[in-house]
Amino acid sequence: MIITSSFTGQFQQRILEAIRANHLIENGDRVVVGVSGGADSVCLLHVLHSLSRALQIKLYAVHINHMLRADEADGDERYTADLCEELGIQLSSTRIDVGAMSKSLGISLEEAGRKARYGEFSRCAQAVGASVIAVAHNRNDQAETVMMNIMRGSGIAGLSGMEYKKGKIIRPLLDISRDEIERYCTEAGLSPRTDSSNLTEEFTRNRVRLGLFPYIMENFGINMEVSLCRLSAHAAKDNSFLDECASKAYLAALNVKQKGQVKGKEQGQDQGQDQGQDRQQDRRQEQGGGKGQVELKAEKLMSLHPAVLNRVLKLAITDVAGSSKGIASVHYQSLTDLIVKGRTGAIAELPGGIRGVFAYGVLKIFISHSDYSNSEDINFCVDLNIPGTVRVPELEATVTACIVRDTNIDNYPQLVYNPFMQFFDYDKLNRGIIIRNRRMGDRFAPFGSNGTKKLKEYFIDSKVPREQRSMIPLICMDDEIVWVIGDKISDKFKVTENTKSILRIKYSGGFHHDGGY
């Protein structure tokens, strides 16, 4: 029950209003709460417990012992267990050697601790079927985060700071000061633990809180908590507007010839979207892009303001890779350079195996599984068994051939066009059949043509990027091309009304170029 006549009651009412105004928790939700034993998380757990009847929620507490402060950390663990027992809240407590984790991953203790915590929060949420994970970031934390982002040279998204809700993570105390939290604990009869590591200047955040902010207050008379939180609120509004503009521009730029194949964001990654953004993502999933690939029309990108263009590129990278983490301004600039210069075949390499390729007015962004930059050095040649199936290891593909008994041409609607399964006049294929990639001097007689042309010219006319051409499989009889897999067959080997024996060849998996293969 909420007691509105006391400070604690008013405090709880503020949290309830923040929860409802920001749609943090729905009635009936299961909520995982991260509890360290410190004032912030103890306050959060106690408030949510007090509001649990009004919100009709079930709470689950999670505590992680980072194994960094020996007896002190063990005391935090015992205190959290006692508090949860007193409140009747189920607790999951685990120990993770964050120091060892930091060394093995080559990251700071701060980052290792964060990975450990959020990994355990997610695991527990999945185990109990929780829809949200509540953490105890407050207004002071927000100010510190914004300041650290400023020092890193962050853009407007960084100035926005933390969100009330991002994916499953919710922050009900985000507009509450640390002084108010400590007063609540005192008046509610709580005795939270003090983390001694928060009192040293070993970590960057501590130096901001203990050194920088007091220095600015003393020498300039500026309360950085107030100023930075005001900046954060203004930036968040601008950031939301730019995100909306970028989402619309992204939809407009998507190459719609391959509908329904954009991956969209992975679950659990950057999910802080409102319902409108979810609808925008659903629409993105209905337009453009190939498997693991997004294609954007350069003409639509050229007119965009740089602030919007970078966000469009971020959306594309996130749809392809599930996250844009590790992608910096220099990487967005490299993609922008591809668009501006407009040179077909130009490539931009990004972290995480992400690659941008510009080809014939389209920017393609995808996860690279093959090194196209070295594709000129790739050679493969495999004998085709008839009947039978063979594997092409270089492409992670299979090719299956069989002889078809029914030679009535009217029974094969696939003859019109199927890029991965084709039919041939078997009697004309009177020598060994192979699957290989291109060779110097290759010529091809495309279906419907009156003569042959150089395969190189055919690829240029078909707008196949140069760096991909050596990865395209060809069905050949000796040196004669029978089928450019994924495209046309040779006119010479087509099925006609005079065909007595039909060979069907089917290609599965492997390299896909330009959304076709």
Mean pLDDT of 204-222: 94
Mean pLDDT (the chain) is 86
Residues 357 and 398 in one domain: no
Within a domain: residue 79?
yes
Would residue 144 count as lying in a domain?
Answer: no
Give pLDDT tens digits for 20-75. 999 999 999 999 999 999 999 999 999 999 999 999 999 999 999 999 888 899 99
Give the contacts of 305 (CB within 8 A, at least 6 positions apart). Answer: none
How many helices and strands (H and E) does the chain possess? 16, 20
> So what's the pLDDT on residue 303?
93
Answer whether residue 475 is part of any domain: yes
Average pLDDT over residues 104-125: 94
Asked if residue 116 is part of any domain, the answer here is yes
Residues 402 and 353 in one domain: no
The rounded distance, in Å, linking the Cα atoms of 472 and 92 is 53
Question: Which CATH number does the domain housing residue 264 bear?
Answer: 3.30.465.60
CA–CA separation, 250 and 280 (whole Å): 10
Both 278 and 327 in a single domain? yes
> In the structure, what pLDDT confidence band is assigned to residue 128 with cuts at 50, 70 and 90?
very high
pLDDT for the residue numbered 141: 96
Q: What is the CATH number of the domain that holds 403?
A: 3.50.40.10
The last residue of one of the domains, among 368, 401, 430, is 368
* Count of domains forming the chain: 3
Residue 156 lies in a domain: no
Given the DSSP bridges, would you call strands 30-34 and 58-65 parallel, antiparallel or unpaired?
A: parallel
Statement: the pTM of the whole predicted model exceeds 0.75: no
Confidence of residue 275 (pLDDT cuts 50, 70, 90): very low
- Domain membership of residue 500 (yes or no) is yes
Q: Are residues 257 and 294 in the same domain?
A: yes
The CATH number assigned to the domain holding 51 equals 3.40.50.620
387 plus 362 within the same structural domain: no
**Closest by Cα among 81, 98, 97 to 89:** 81
Task: Note whether 347 and 291 are same-domain residues.
Answer: yes
Q: Within a domain: residue 158? A: no
Q: Does residue 140 surpass a pLDDT of 70?
A: yes
**Residue 494 and residue 391 share a domain:** yes
Residue 213 lies in a domain: yes
User: Domain range holding 260?
Assistant: 249-368
pLDDT value at position 173?
98
- 483 and 388, same domain (yes or no): yes
pLDDT at 252 over 90: yes
